[in-house]
Structure 1
């Protein structure tokens, strides 16, 4: 082996054993008030001890707005950074108060009304008089008055500077030719206005079959949000929001403070009484938008605006796509471009995430369904990511979703790989989503983190760790920290087990890092279709269906842009793009392309033997081509979203490379497969189901295998075999490194899931247990076959202690197995801790026990739900399961 390769392998192994902060979970540290130095030191040391690698300080709504960026705030920030440096923690600058980057807690627009968000509204009808009225932000209103009060001064949504930006006369029915649209902007005047509405009048004639559509902009007088189309707004945000932090942290940048993190920059998603047409929310407006649109479109600004809200003929889709492309490019450059320039000048990395309409879903617009993402930086993810130095995305709750896969895709498109994933919990037991999930278990979080790693995540970001656990008997969302998207994981009874989660998931991430994923399928990101057709078009659900079905059948993929395809190399029926290799390209109900050059690339790929699959509507338009285009020659097409049988048929034609993994059950484990330059393959297998899964792994030449244990960091060579078999227990994870065997291999090798046990001699420990609800409490008899919440301790959250006197009649090595526990357990034998577990399998090695009587104690931590949801509307119809819910088993080892 070459010396360089040996060094690299040694580095990989060292990183796996002791992952750095880049792979360890990070967390938002919610500041609800300005902390004292003692609080800073105590909490940061606690975070470090429990495996957190990076902290981002975030001022939340419970903190008085005047405290944000005050002198005491900045002093506490610096003290925290200094302590973090002492502890070996990394720090990132969370860039705003609460969230929605750019407003700096309202400081950006204070004294600079010209930077407040300005929006464009429209009204259409057959009368020469009309109005814009009833403007409201439903997305924000749904979150309650405290969020309204945070975003709007005085809690009022008010406007000024009503200005007619465009007006057109047009047929009320179908528009057959462009000259049927008449620009009458100069003939429309504002006739009256106040803080909430305006009226206008057209000075001209409207024919019987004509309608007048008027576009009017207004600037908010009360919104703290900025106009993201204005570079000067971003510069002002930097001046008042970021520069004070940088000045306070002098000498601490770039270590330990290495990056700045922006969070969901977006103006208000407004609706109003007169809204109509295919655009679901108001548009941001700035005078520069006219020139930007003119550079990308061959129609007037007024006619382009009309195409956004109604069909204006055969050119409608092209005009819409080009308008939104111009709008997005202007917004991206003005905000993200300004931030990037500042970050590079400051010597800090820019990262963060925009609004992801697909959050919690695989469908492109399956998350925030109440917004039209085209009005925000929420569609052109590849373009936004080009301004970042590191990719980050947002995820909601604890099921697999598109965000990390799209994040990994845009990162690879821009010369990087993988991403950070912020994960927040919104309530599922109540309609008040900010009440969160105090019922979250570490097992649930761990399973989600492993899934996210398999989907493209490098680093997990908790939302978050709390400064305080809030107030009793106050169900107020947001302003009571207890219900600000709980849980604050450091107030969960299972928090002392978090280091187990951190160590294991960080090792999984470090294991994945050196390899490139095996992705036979490229899915084209339908950017111009999304611009032209809108969020309710079938491209959104079709892309989600492709993602879910491919993953369900063990086929990985990556999402690529048109630019990726055009820049790709094509050889022998394979597409080399974004640093990866593809055998097939999927068009998920793609109707509109940016350029005909993409079509030429697809045809060239198909002509050399590559496969092109599509579903839904067919391609009909390239925006830089004046005529309708024919779809490329397709290998397969299905009119409906792809189902399992479609995917199976298509994958049967994909050439095989690398390891073949066969599953002996209906349910597949989660998997990630990647390859190194030296011929090694890396495999992650994770069973998040309730039953064991049989797995067989083969390479055509036979294989030699190493098992890298993320549990403890050990690396074990397990031999050379024709094929390798194992049973993956529920919630078990395997990290395997394999390559073609270069010597004689045995026929079959097995990875034993656990030491050999003698289950026929298992002893069920159902009787004789007593229980104390916390240290120092009195013990009372208890059943171990139902949770303590059903036995008089319904609102106890904490560490319950189960105790029994255990009589051993045969000296042997024993293990203790808990069939079910809620939710983290440490086993004590004769007063000495033996082991701890926070997820299945709950199996504890007790060692060799002599005959006689032993005291067995199980310290069980539940969740905080029963304590914190007590006396609130959020508890639900029954308390959460707590403690032991099935009798433990004592099982001797066979040897």
Structure 2
């Protein structure tokens, strides 16, 4: 979020040296209560010093809903925004209380019961009477009682206005066509209802071998969530939730407050006792839905509904795809379209992210596995993104995952590039996910940020920085801010080192910005298959396998939509779309396509020499085709792809640009892209524990620049015919190169590792003293094991190690710290040598004469041992803290 400068007049070196807010880390600022002006000054100033560029204020559950949007809240919001502007920070409007956009802390539906979520439920049986009962929201309940209380008034889930929307008689066995289905909606009615259930009755009797399926709508009387099919709900949300903020901010909009950010707009994912069929959750319902569905499917609403649950003959997949297409389009326009128009009218950017069922995973539905995403804004990612001005996605925990790659893909399809990636931590060692990961290290966070940039992120959005660190000895999730999706990184002991992370990662993002990624492979996003087959179909896992195998081979890729292929150009055997060039198109277990235009585009690409591969299930349905579909591929394999398949595909692809060959078993992360003037940009990152070596070649020789993300400086071009790059653990490199007309100078070597005389290394084992924080008494300590094993198990903070150091010979000395948990600053005779937030912990002490020196190491661990004490979240042992291997003095080789 933030303005992305474009054009020929941009000095990319200057942006690299001094990255703008668009590239700097951003963060949710959790408000657990209304802050004073003093608190706003202190915290915003701190965020600025630590390198954050953008802040989004987010009211959390610890804040009373009565305080949210109150006059005092709005006053504090304006004060905070004004201070942010004075500091040069950018601010965005996080659009709701806690999360789930559209409810405005319950204000949207207050006095407007007609806007509360309304759902379709169903039941099938051989009886003339049946019921809908036992409705429950498993997704909300798994989050705990506090979430239920926030979403439902009085923590009670009740319903009203039970209405039969469709009733159908059909065979209890197979159905060969919709002509075998009888619509009996007019003969079926509600005969009894209360707040939790209803009974319906058909005025006839199902015959032998027949079944009655009834669809009943009901509106919640207690839910604070809205009906996203109603534009009136979005309009009301704007009136009571967004306009008050914008009015209070006045001339602070659009600068520094330049955008509005929405978060997972979604109604409840309800299940009930009688649920059955191919749809896993209830559907939203609105009076506009039947007409939209009938128009989109050329079939009655009632019979189309039956196709969502069971096979109704050859038209089943087409009807499902067309239904969800109409359903999603209605929801997109009603909610996102309304908000985008409002944002445009206010002169601000509209952004945010939908529910991503793949969060934390490569499989398309490997994250929120308990939901059927078709009932929400959660499948048509290309269509959803068309309503945004800037793309944002959600990510969970600290592993590579699909979200940024899909986010970059949809952004490029809609005329933009890259995306904002919100990252939150959920607990891994306890079932209470909101307890978070106070054991998070800055090294882990940095590694994830760099991986995200390689996968398509522009900006890292942290969830979040905290107003308070909550209460001791209280494990309650959400209500105690400490366990509201911790960690609050500004309460981590390593927070003082965050500026190192912020500056380096922002430069890596800025370095990537001017170039177009080299993406030989396009993966067709199988939207219609996802609609028709549902989240458990093999297309979801096929996508995950393709992503992981391609990345393992360091082959970049993007997703494309059917609409992308329809507008693509084919040149020299490559398909050109969204500013990218592809040599191959992959169809991951695609069974349904929207249009024959896609088939013609794939046919033309294949005929021009392009590669079209499909795996898994075969294409069977094209929604606008009169006849059954026939496949169009260079090759089809009826199974999951394996490494041999991926290698065979890549072996058949033409190559252009630099060649990066790995000289070690493991390969570094890489991002490769090209500029219009012939220069190429490469990012290499070693996220492992051992050094990695790569060799770069490009034509007969190349000019090479090294851009230091640590310092912001650029080493002017040298000429090589080959460049060997050695990456220490956790080291990142930014390299720019182009084919040269000069005579190559020979082989180059790039390494940050000094030439040390390890045979003369001096282990510093004995004589250390330790104090748990400034002002504490010093005691003897071993550096062979962490302080958590030596009487300081619950100490989280900066521990101070001291040693009287005797240097026996003059030399240029380096200090190597083999194991540090987690960050360290080295002082020699009271002078700061340097700070490190991640490996390698190697420090140049300079040329030292023989004599006595005072060495001080200030090591900060994580907050886990302090905040998890006396809670169920601590685990079996305390987290490692401080030094756990003896430091070494090593002289520079003569």
State TM-score, norm by structure 1.
Answer: 0.99
Corresponding position of 2:748: 749
Written as runs of structure 1 = structure 2, the 5 A alignment for 1:770-849 is 770-849=769-848
- Partner Cα distance (1:725, 1:428) in 2: 39
Corresponding position of 2:872: 873
SS of match in other structure, 1:120: strand
Corresponding position of 2:273: 273
- Partner Cα distance (1:639, 1:186) in 2: 46
Conserved 8 A contact 1:28-1:464: yes
Conserved 8 A contact 2:681-2:734: yes
- Partner Cα distance (2:788, 2:542) in 1: 44
Corresponding position of 2:735: 736
- More displaced 10-residue stretch of structure 1: 750-759 or 858-867: 750-759
Corresponding position of 1:238: 238
- Partner Cα distance (1:826, 1:692) in 2: 23
- Partner Cα distance (1:849, 1:479) in 2: 54
Corresponding position of 2:127: 127
Corresponding position of 2:659: 660
Written as runs of structure 1 = structure 2, the 5 A alignment for 1:246-645 is 246-632=246-632, 634-645=633-644
TM-aligned CA distance change 1:494 to 1:356, over 3 Å: same
- Partner Cα distance (2:110, 2:665) in 1: 60
Conserved 8 A contact 1:546-1:641: no
Please state how far the C-alpha of 1:646 moved relative to its aligned partner.
1.1
Corresponding position of 1:113: 113
Please state how far the C-alpha of 1:10 moved relative to its aligned partner.
6.7
Please state how far the C-alpha of 1:582 moved relative to its aligned partner.
0.4
- Partner Cα distance (2:257, 2:7) in 1: 29
Task: Give a deviation string over 1:107-166, Cα, whole Å, max 9, x none.
Answer: 000000000000000000000000000000001001111000000000001000000000
SS of match in other structure, 2:303: helix
Task: Give a deviation string over 1:710-769, Cα, whole Å, max 9, x none.
Answer: 011111035111111121111000100000012000231111222222222211111111
Task: Give a deviation string over 1:786-845, Cα, whole Å, max 9, x none.
Answer: 110011100000000000000001122211111110000000101111100010000112
- Partner Cα distance (1:430, 1:752) in 2: 41
SS of match in other structure, 1:251: helix
Structure 2, unmatched stretches of 5+, are none
Conserved 8 A contact 1:363-1:545: yes
Is 1:34 matched with 2:64? no
- Partner Cα distance (1:177, 1:505) in 2: 58
- Partner Cα distance (2:450, 2:438) in 1: 21
Conserved 8 A contact 1:726-1:753: no
- Partner Cα distance (2:767, 2:328) in 1: 68
Conserved 8 A contact 2:761-2:891: yes
- Partner Cα distance (2:597, 2:259) in 1: 37
Is 1:142 matched with 2:146? no
- Partner Cα distance (2:9, 2:261) in 1: 32
SS of match in other structure, 1:67: coil
Please state how far the C-alpha of 1:9 moved relative to its aligned partner.
8.1
Task: Give a deviation string over 1:603-636, Cα, whole Å, max 9, x none.
Answer: 000000000011111111110112211100x233
SS of match in other structure, 2:624: coil
Conserved 8 A contact 2:422-2:463: yes
Structure 1, unmatched stretches of 5+, are none
- Partner Cα distance (2:295, 2:634) in 1: 37
Written as runs of structure 1 = structure 2, the 5 A alignment for 1:164-179 is 164-179=164-179
SS of match in other structure, 1:215: strand
Conserved 8 A contact 2:728-2:753: no
- More displaced 10-residue stretch of structure 1: 749-758 or 405-414: 749-758
Corresponding position of 2:705: 706
- Partner Cα distance (2:255, 2:847) in 1: 48
Please state how far the C-alpha of 1:639 moved relative to its aligned partner.
2.4
Is 1:723 matched with 2:722? yes
Task: Give a deviation string over 1:239-281, Cα, whole Å, max 9, x none.
Answer: 0000000001100111100100000000000000000000000
Aligned length: 890
Conserved 8 A contact 1:169-1:213: yes
- Partner Cα distance (2:491, 2:547) in 1: 36
Task: Give a deviation string over 1:72-130, Cα, whole Å, max 9, x none.
Answer: 00000000000001100000000000000000000000000000000000000000000
- Partner Cα distance (1:606, 1:620) in 2: 19
- Partner Cα distance (1:298, 1:666) in 2: 57
SS of match in other structure, 2:66: helix
TM-aligned CA distance change 1:888 to 1:320, over 3 Å: same
Conserved 8 A contact 2:404-2:419: yes
SS of match in other structure, 1:249: helix
- Partner Cα distance (1:722, 1:635) in 2: 37
Task: Give a deviation string over 1:642-694, Cα, whole Å, max 9, x none.
Answer: 22121111100110000000001221110000000000000000001111111
- Partner Cα distance (2:800, 2:689) in 1: 27
Conserved 8 A contact 2:127-2:205: no
TM-aligned CA distance change 1:509 to 1:6, over 3 Å: closer
TM-aligned CA distance change 1:48 to 1:569, over 3 Å: same
- More displaced 10-residue stretch of structure 1: 762-771 or 51-60: 762-771
- Partner Cα distance (2:428, 2:76) in 1: 35
SS of match in other structure, 1:700: coil
- Partner Cα distance (2:622, 2:513) in 1: 38
Task: Give a deviation string over 1:182-207, Cα, whole Å, max 9, x none.
Answer: 00000001010000000010001310
- Partner Cα distance (2:748, 2:177) in 1: 72
- Partner Cα distance (1:812, 1:53) in 2: 42
- Partner Cα distance (1:148, 1:234) in 2: 22
State TM-score, norm by structure 2.
Answer: 0.99
Conserved 8 A contact 2:727-2:751: no
Written as runs of structure 1 = structure 2, the 5 A alignment for 1:192-203 is 192-203=192-203
Conserved 8 A contact 2:177-2:315: no
SS of match in other structure, 1:369: coil
- More displaced 10-residue stretch of structure 1: 52-61 or 198-207: 198-207
SS of match in other structure, 2:697: strand
- Partner Cα distance (2:665, 2:262) in 1: 42
What value does the CA root-mean-square deviation take over the aligned residues?
A: 1.1
- Partner Cα distance (1:192, 1:752) in 2: 77
- Partner Cα distance (1:818, 1:363) in 2: 39
